[in-house]
Amino acid sequence: MAAQNLDDVRAEIDVIDRRIVELLAHRQRWVVEAGRLKADAHAVRAPDRVEKVIEKVRTLAAQAGASPEVVESTYRAMIGAFIDLELTVHREG
């Protein structure tokens, strides 16, 4: 996995970013569906579920050789943004 130069590294990161965005779009479709099914705003926020997800992804990060702290920070930001979207979907019915 040794890169020849910075351009090679950036090209690989660009490929990864495309995959991440595709996965985020896929996750968003399911978040929107969940927003339609939940009974109220508390169910959308689901703080207990958020903590379970964080615990799970920290474990997955460690197993994959990623920083659990970076993964947790990333997931907290992502979950917060998806909760905002889900609340909007839920309000709009």
Statement: the pTM of the whole predicted model exceeds 0.75: yes
On whether residue 20 sits in a domain, the answer given is yes
> According to the model, what pLDDT value does residue 12 have?
95
The CATH number for 76's domain is 1.20.59.10
| Domain assignment of residue 1, yes or no | no
Where in the sequence is the domain holding 69, given as residue range(s)? Answer: 6-92
| Residues 12-68: tens digit of each pLDDT | 999 999 999 999 999 999 999 998 898 899 999 999 999 999 999 999 999 999 999
pLDDT in tens, 60-90: 999 999 999 999 999 999 999 999 999 998 8
Asked whether residue 51 is assigned to any structural domain, the reply reads yes
Residue 1 CB contacts under 8 Å (≥ 6 apart), including other chains:
none
- Distance separating alpha carbons of residues 79 and 67, to the nearest angstrom: 18
Terminal-to-terminal C-alpha distance of the chain: 48
Domain count across the chain = 1
State residue 91's pLDDT score: 84
